[in-house]
Structure 1
Amino acid sequence: MAQAETHHELPLPRFEKPVKVLIVQSPYYKDIADGLLTGAKAVLEAAGASFEVVHVPGALEIPPAIRIAHVQSNFDGYVALGCVIRGETSHYETVCNDSSHGLMLLGLQGACLGNGILTVENKDQALVRADPEGQNKGGGAAAAALHLIALSRRYATQTKGVGFKPRGETIQLADGGESPSRA
């Protein structure tokens, strides 16, 4: 049973500068969404992150909402929370695939996000996964976003050494000598 599974969880990253996260939640299944949100908030608070919560109608609206905020606001990361339960039609596959694909594209474009959109066969599975005292998938999504924010900050200060040196810096020559830059 999925509830008995155990997983290794990385310790939450520590931040020197404040972290601001947007939680985008679809409360389509409100009891499930509330559990996901409780778990996500607890993890963000434990890491000292500030956060804002916005609501959208369904899982398909979560990626566009994150994209709007990513382009037009100053959030460090995003947490996507929602639930898709299999029904009698192929709509389930469309919603699961398109919402997941939209989030992946945002991540590949540099958005630091955690995917907490549950895709399940029935409500019982969703309740176990959403429960903050159970599998806590909302908390897991928040932790994922925090880890990506930390990784992004780690590499943001490093340069690849390509380009021109600013005027006044010396350049190391191949023969071991130095030359002032002429930039």
Structure 2
Amino acid sequence: MAGTETHYILPRPELAAPAKLLIVVSPYYKDIADNMIAGAAAEIEAAGATYEVIEVPGALEIPTAIAISDRGSNFDGYVALGCVIRGETTHYDTVCNDSSRAIQLLGLQGLCIGNGILTVENRAQAEVRADPAEQNKGAGAAAAALHLIALTRKWGDQTKGVGFKAPSEAIKLAATDNGPSTA
């Protein structure tokens, strides 16, 4: 049973400069969303970061809102929060798979996103996962975003280049050489 297992949790990352995060939440199940926001907010504040919260209608809109924000804002990272509870139709599978896939694609493009969209079988599972005194998945999603921000800051200025890269000595010679000498 997942509730009795213990898991290793990484220490909170130390950020040299404050970070600013956007919590994007679908309050479809308002009480669950509110608990997740509380957990995420506490984790962000404990790391010395700041945040804003925006609401979207459902889990499928969360990745789109993150992409829109990334094009026009200055957030260092994002926390995606929502809850999808299995119902009687296959809509559950579509929402779970497509929201997760879209968030993953945004992450592969370089966005720092902690995915806290719960995908559960019933309300009881969601309540335990959202509760800051229980599994606190909102805080876990915020911690994931903070860790990705720390990695981006650590490696963000490094560039590897694409394709063939001439040795540095050859670059120096090419910059100073005007062609073969005839002397």
User: Do these two structures clear the TM 0.5 threshold for a shared fold by scoring above it?
Assistant: yes
| CA apart distance, 1:18 | 1.8
Q: Secondary structure at the match of 2:67?
A: helix
Mark the runs of 5 or more structure 1 residues left unpaired by the alignment: 165-170
Give the match for residue 49 of structure 2: 49
C-alpha separation in 1, matches of 2:77 and 2:56: 17
Aligned match of 2:95: 95
Are the structure 2 counterparts of residues 11 and 67 from structure 1 closer, same or farther at C-alpha, using a change threshold of 3 Å? same
Q: Which residue number in structure 2 is paired with residue 167 of structure 1?
A: none
Spell out the pairing of 1:63-82 with structure 2 (5 A cutoff).
63-82=63-82
Q: Secondary structure at the match of 1:59?
A: coil
Give the match's secondary structure for 1:14: coil
Q: Deviations over 1:3-43 (max 9, x none)?
A: 21211000111111120100000110011111111110010
Which residue pairs with 1:168 in the alignment?
Answer: none
SS of the aligned residue for 2:15 comes to coil
Q: 1: CA distance between counterparts of 2:58 and 2:160? A: 41
1:32 alignment partner in structure 2: 32
With the length of structure 1 as denominator, give the TM-score of the two structures.
Answer: 0.88
Q: CA RMSD in A?
A: 2.2
Quote the Cα distance in structure 2 between the aligned partners of 1:81 and 1:64.
13
Q: Which runs of 5 or more residues in structure 2 are unaligned? A: 178-183
Structure 1 residue 104 and structure 2 residue 104: aligned? yes
Counterpart amino acid of 2:129?
R
* Structure-2 residue corresponding to 1:131: 131
Q: What's the CA shift string for 1:79-112, capped at 9, x where partnerless?
A: 0000000000111001101111110110011110
TM-score, structure 2 normalization: 0.88
Give the secondary-structure state (helix, strand or coil) at the position aligned to 1:75.
Answer: coil
Looking at structure 1, the residues matched to 38 and 65 of structure 2 have their Cα atoms a distance apart, in angstroms, of: 20
